[in-house]
Amino acid sequence: MDLGIVGKRVLITGASQGIGYAIAKDFAREGCRAAVIARREEKLQALVEQIGGREKGHAYYAGDLMREGIPERAVEALKADGEDFDIVVHNIGGTLEVRDPLAPWEEWFRVWRFNAGVAIEINRLLIPAMQEKGWGRVIHISSLAGEQLRGCGPYGAAKAYLNAYTKVLGRAVAPSGVVVSAIMPGSILAEGGHWDKVQKNDPAKLADYLRHHQATGRLGTPEEISCFALFLASKYATFAQGAVVPVDGGTM
């Protein structure tokens, strides 16, 4: 299937492992030029080399997007040739181990910034150029926690905010040809991730979770999420403004 994205420039945050890593590889395979951001430079170097290197138009920026000024610096560095981005996939996020609903507001805000605030900042930098061109795709990797609000309260609340922001922004920019959407993955098994640690350290807990909460009886894979990102970036996603899509294996 021709997705209509060959040659497009795509920016992917949190791309050094897991879902972001799979997304970068899939977009490169479809002929896009990927610019990836994460903290670990050695991981980004290996990824860029694996998908074809700088000679294929791929690039990376190593930096902590939670630090003030880094989102703008990263975007400007990756636009060094003056070419804007057509697609952005926001994949950074996590609990930051803030689990107490009575945590100080500063901790709640830190989790919000990690899961929503950085995306808002980058969108402000990239979307105007998409609007001028009359084409663009913005995809947020949210979480089923944003609906279920189980587990870490600050994380679930931040993802619920991200889902609402996706709808509000998607409606606002829809007339310009920019499509804003989100994917809500369920429980995904990725190297170094939460369920990877549970599988290694507490297999009984994982078995109990799968038995009671996963209709499929297994965890998902990063590749089962990245393919949805491809579709939402494609020429077929023209009626997906503000769409928030669950991809969770029938989580109960």
pLDDT at 192 over 90: no
- pLDDT by residue (tens digit) across 29-47? 999 999 999 999 999 999 9
The full length of the chain comes to 252
pLDDT value for 194: 86
Which residue stretches of the chain are H helix? 18-29, 41-50, 70-78, 105-112, 118-133, 145-148, 153-173, 194-201, 203-213, 223-233
> What CATH number has the domain spanning 9-188+221-247?
3.40.50.720
pLDDT score at 122: 98
pTM: 0.96
Structure tokens at 104: 């100080």
* Residue bearing tokens 């995904």: 188
Higher pLDDT, 203 or 24: 24
Taking alpha carbons only, the member of 30, 32, 140, 18 closest to residue 85 is 32
pLDDT score at 198: 86
Domain extents in the chain: 9-188+221-247
Which residues on neighbouring strands pair with residue 245, listed in sequence order?
183
pLDDT at 193 (0 to 100): 81
Q: Give me the pLDDT at residue 196, please.
A: 87
155 catalytic per annotation: yes
Cβ neighbours around 161 below 10 Å, total: 17
Active site residue: 155, 161, 165, 209, which one? Answer: 155
- Mean pLDDT (the chain, rounded): 96
The two structure tokens encoding residue 209:
């979770």
Beta bridge partners of 59: 35
The per-residue pLDDT for range 51-88, each reduced to its tens digit, is 999 999 999 999 999 999 999 999 999 997 778 999 99
| pLDDT, position 150 | 82
Residues 13 and 20: their CA atoms lie apart, in Å, by 7
Q: How far is CA 121 from the centre of its chain?
A: 14
pLDDT in tens, 162-174: 999 999 999 999 9
Alpha-carbon radius of gyration of the chain: 17
